[in-house]
Structure 1
Amino acid sequence: MADNPHVLIETTLGEILVELFPDKAPKTVENFLRYVDDGHYDETIFHRVVRNFVIQGGGYTSLLEKKPTREPVPNEATNGLQNKAGTLAMARAMEKDSATDEFFINAADNPDLDHAGDTDEDYGYAVFGQVVEGMDVVKKINWKVVKPRDGFDELPVDAMEILSVSRYE
């Protein structure tokens, strides 16, 4: 596991170090690292914060502008990894193979997000990493006050910025 790639997510509230699992989710990790290497996640926000559930980000600027994305990546939710507290997974729309750039960190164990069947609704969300340091930062973000505005249901009142995401050697 020591050879797995790691990324450092620098936020306005501190750093989150994540280990990625290319052996379990090769296409997802490759997709995520392409966005990392392109600087796509720099100066984005966590735009969806649901207490005791998830913090989601990577797709919007602080001005709430959607960033351009690549083609969706195939959903690898059948990889045996579970949406447990501290895991990193891909966000997606209703269609199972619709994940592009947005990711989330599970703030709690979320078995309802795991693969449970082959329909779009039951397919689940692909876990592809695990927080190894910085769960205190995840918890701080997860406890921020949110309110609906500008088309977002769970937008933090104070912007939760992702300053940068980079490979960590």
Structure 2
Amino acid sequence: MLKRILLVAVLALCFACSAFAAEAKNPVLVLETSQGNVKVELFEKQAPITVKNFLEYAKSGFYDGTIFHRVIPSFMIQGGGFNKEMIPKATRAPIKNEANNGLKNDRGTLAMARTGMVDSATAQFFINVVNNNYLNHNPAGGAGSFGYAVFGKVLEGMDVVDKIAGTPTGVVNGMPNVPVTPVVIKSVKILK
């Protein structure tokens, strides 16, 4: 009887460990910024195309030296496309929009920035500072309501995101909401 109890306990422990390992497979990265570090988890299962795209940009060093160029308090902070001189970086081809993946543009989530065209996202991303429900996929909404693809969330450093969101902004090269003092993404490091 004791052997059975021990066997059940060991099997339960193994199951718990394997369930934890399955959850822990998501890529985790650190965005080192001039305002502090932000640790993020990417949702590979729900947004495989978007996560692959983001990881390729991160591995190549593309994000190093880019800035958060669009900062709007009580909305979001957007970066990953311009250098400190507000010169856009050359990107790869746009990717398919995965906004219909069930993930919501809630506070602390990462989503891909895009133009008015649904499948136009390249390298730029944003971090939601509040719940932005109107950015979610809305299949009943018709044209223009496809949404913005959420592909990750902040694990640590939301205080840094809030600090960036509170940065004084102005107009630079005709573009509004640009931080007066550049908020630099020094590096994006993949931890696992």
- Report the TM-score when normalising by structure 2: 0.86
Report SS of the residue matched to 1:28: helix
| Aligned partner of 2:162 among 130, 139, 143 | 139
Give the counterpart of 2:84 among 62, 65, 69: 62
**What SS does the corresponding residue of 1:138 show, helix, strand or coil?**
helix
- Which residues of structure 2 form unaligned runs of 5+? 1-22
Q: What is the distance in 2 between the residues matched to 1:112 and 1:148?
A: 26
SS of the residue aligned with 2:78?
strand
2:81 aligned with 1:84, yes or no? no
Q: Quick one: which of 2, 10, 21 aligns to 2:32?
A: 10
Determine the structure 1 residue equivalent to 2:61. 39
1:156-167 aligned within 5 A: 156-167=179-190
Identity across matched positions, percent: 49
Shift of 1:151: 2.2
Partner Cα separation in structure 2 for residue 82 and residue 102 of structure 1: 18
Matches within 5 A, 1:83-162: 83-117=105-139, 119=142, 121-162=144-185
Deviation string, structure 1 residues 130-164 (Cα, Å, up to 9, x no partner)? 00000000000000111122121110111111000
Root-mean-square deviation over aligned CA pairs: 1.0
- Structure 1 Cα separation of the partners of residues 48 and 170 of structure 2: 36
Poorly superposed stretches of 4+, deviation over 2 Å = 117-120
Structure 1 residue 119, shift from structure 2 partner: 4.8
Distance 1:129 1:119 in 2: 26
Larger Cα-atom Rg: 2
Is the CA contact 1:52–1:107 (under 8 Å) kept in the aligned structure 2?
yes
Alignment deviations for residues 38-94 of structure 1 (CA, whole Å, 9 cap, x no partner):
000000000000001000000000111100100101000000000000000000000
> Larger strand proportion, structure 1 or 2?
1
* Higher helix proportion (structure 1 or 2): 2
Query: Which residue identity lines up with residue 48 of structure 2 in the other structure?
Result: P
